[in-house]
Amino acid sequence: MANVLIVEARFYDHLNDMLVAGATAAVEAAGHRAEVLTVPGALEVPGAIALAAESGRYDAFVALGVVIRGETYHFEIVANESARGIMALTMDGIPIGNGILTTENEAQAIVRADPAQLDKGGGAAKAALAMLDLKQRLG
């Protein structure tokens, strides 16, 4: 049984609730344990995963959050840099499923976050577990 840490950037509560529900359900359906850690925003997710990975308490990680395009360049910075940070950690061999949504508007985010629709939280959890399996098989 693996210990999976779900790191959520808690900015849009109603959207994050759906992402976390989907991720938790997927982890538990696969027979593993899920724990949730909340950080302020998407830029903090990679740092939190790096710190948690150093602890040795977790086998895989799920990154969750929602970044909705606004009127400024900030959207690109947050979307690109959070993804870059997560990718750098995966290249170091840390099993991570990236479920940080980057959307044009809230309606797109709802469709993607809702476990009854696209369930991107559940998909990210399944990706993390698949990478954990790959790490174990190749390790």
- For residues 132 and 60, is the Cβ–Cβ distance under 8 A? yes
Q: Which residues are part of the catalytic machinery?
A: 74
Residue 7, annotated as binding a ligand:
no
Residue 44, annotated as binding a ligand:
yes
Residue 62, annotated as binding a ligand:
no
Angle at alpha carbon of residue 111, lines to 108 and 117, rounded to 5°: 160
DSSP string, 33-90: EEEEEEESSGGGHHHHHHHHHHHT--SEEEEEEEEE--SSTHHHHHHHHHHHHHHHHH
- Rounded Cα distance between 92 and 119, Å, is 27
Residue 67, annotated as binding a ligand:
yes
**Side chain identity at 102, as an amino acid letter?**
T
Residue 69, annotated as binding a ligand:
no
Residue 72, annotated as binding a ligand:
yes
Residue 9, annotated as binding a ligand:
no
Residue 81, annotated as binding a ligand:
no
Residues making up the annotated binding site are 11, 42-44, 66-68, 71-72, 98, 112
Residues making up the annotated binding site for (2S)-2-hydroxy-3-oxobutyl phosphate are 71-72, 112
